Amino acid sequence: MSFSSALLTVMSLVCGAFIGSFLGCLVYRLPRGVSLVRPARSFCPGCQRTIPWYRNVPVFGWLFLRGRCPDCGAKISLRYPLIEGAAAMLFWLATVTFPPMQAVVFWLFFALLLAAAFIDVEHLIIPDRLTFPGTALGIVCSALVPALHGAGTWTAGVKAALFGAAAGYGTLYAISYFGKLAFGRFYVVSSEPIEFRFQTSVEGGREFVFAEEVYPWDELFFRKKDRIRIETLTLTINQSLTGAREAVLRRDSLTVDGRTIPLSEVTEFAGSTRKAQFPREAMGLGDVKLMAVIGAFLGWPGVVFSIAAASVLGTAIGASLLWLRRSRNTQIPFGPYLALGAIIWSLVGPQIAGWYLALVAGGG
C-alpha cells in the first residue's frame, strides 16, 4: 500500500469514527427532543455530568471506560461504539469505492442511514426531522454531483433524484396502504390492565401511548376510516373521569359511548383497558419517507434493489428473532433493513444485479 493510500484510509476511518460519535449523540437526543447544541458536550444520561474529551474518543473511550460512567457507574449504551465503528467502516468503504466527490456524498448518505436505522431500532420511529432534510440533501447532492445517477448535467441529476424520491415514497406508500387493506385488524387482550394515553410529541404532533409504546397519530390512522376501539376500564377526558365502557379513536375525533367529540376539543385523555382493537400495520410512514431519501440519492434502481433486499433480509432475520424470542407480539422495525439494502446497492448492488441477470439469462 502506498503512503497516499494509507493516509487516505486513516483519514476516512478517523473522520467516520468522529462523525459516528456525533451520530450517537443525534440518535440519543433527536427522538427525546433534546437540543443537539445545548449542552454542546456529551454528557452521561445518568448523572448529567459532562464527559471530558479524553474519555470520549470514538470506540476506544467506551472500551477504556468498560461501558460505564466513571462518576455514577451508569451503563453507557453499546450503541455508541457500534455506530462509531460502523460509520468508520462505511466511510472507508466509500472512500476506496468511489471518486472523491462521490465518496463525500456517500459519507453523508451513509450517516443518514445509520442515524435512521439506530433510531428505528430503539424507538420504532424515523423522525421527519431526519427524512425531510435528507431527501432535500439527496436532491442537492445530485445537482452538485450528477455522476451519482450516471448523469452528465446537473438538471439530469436533479431529475433522476426527484424521480427516485417519488418512486421510493410512492412504492412503499402503496405497500403500506394496501397492506392495511389486506391484513385488516388485530386485537390486544390482556389479563392485566393496560394503560393508554393521548399526548403531544416534542415536535408538536399527536401521539398515542399504549402499554408504554409510543405511536405517531398519523401512522395509526393511515387511512381516514382507520379506527382504534378500546373497551375501557377507566377513562379520563380533559381531566374529568367518565363512566364510559368503550372509546373509539379516529383520526379527528374521539367517540365515547356513542357521543363524538372533535379531537380539537380534547386536550388529554387517558385510561386503562384489557382489550383493544387496532388497525393492522403494514409499515410506518417513517419507512416510506426513508425510501424517499434513498431514492433521492440512488435513483429508482436503488429503490427497487433496496426494497427487494430489505424484504429478503427482513424475512430471514425477523423470523429468526421471533423464533428466538418465542413471541409474535415483538415489533420489528423495517427501517434498518431498508438502510442495509441501500448500503449494499451503493457498494456492490450493480454487480449483484448484473450477476443475477446473467444467471437468469443463462438459465433461460
pLDDT of residue 329: 47
Q: Are residues 176 and 290 in the same domain?
A: yes
Q: What is the pLDDT of residues 285-331, one digit of tens each?
A: 789 999 999 999 999 999 999 999 998 988 888 777 667 665 444 56
Whether residue 227 sits in one domain with residue 244: yes
Whether 318 maps to a domain, the answer reads yes
If asked whether residues 195 and 275 sit together in one domain, one would say: yes
pLDDT at 280: 62
Same domain, 221 and 360: no
Flag whether 343 is in a domain. Answer: yes
Q: Are residues 316 and 177 in the same domain?
A: yes
253 belongs to a structural domain: yes
Q: Which of 227, 248, 279 is the last residue of a domain?
A: 279
324 domain-assigned? yes
Q: Are 31 and 123 contacting, i.e. CB atoms less than 8 angstroms apart?
A: yes
Spans of the chain, pLDDT less than 50: 327-329
Q: Same domain for 175 and 203?
A: no
Identify whether residues 26 and 169 lie together within a single domain. Answer: no
- Confidence (pLDDT) at 178: 72
Residue 243 lies in a domain: yes
Q: At which of 231, 264, 279 does a domain end?
A: 279
Specify the pLDDT at position 215.
Answer: 80
Reported pTM: 0.76
Place of cell 425510501: 291
Say if 110 falls within a structural domain: no
| 111 in a structural domain | no
Q: Which of 279, 304, 328 marks a domain boundary? A: 279
pLDDT for the residue numbered 232:
92
Same domain for 173 and 197? Answer: no
Is residue 48 a part of any domain in this protein? yes
Do 244 and 197 share a structural domain?
A: yes
pLDDT of residue 89: 97
78 and 216 co-located in one domain: no
Range of the domain at 164: 123-181+285-364
Give the closest residue to 33 by CA, choosing from 214, 258, 186, 172. 214
Closest CA to 26 of 91, 144, 123, 141: 123
CA separation for the pair 48, 201 (Å, rounded): 23
Q: 35 and 80 share a domain?
A: yes
Q: What is the pLDDT of residue 82?
A: 95
> Are the beta carbons of 208 and 198 closer than 8 angstroms?
yes
CB of 120 closer than 8 Å to CB of 332: no
Same domain as 199, residue 153: no
Domain count within the chain: 3
The answer to whether the CB of 59 falls within 8 A of the CB of 86 is: no
> What is the model's pLDDT at position 322?
65
Q: Which of 232, 218, 336 is nearest to 276 (CA)?
A: 232
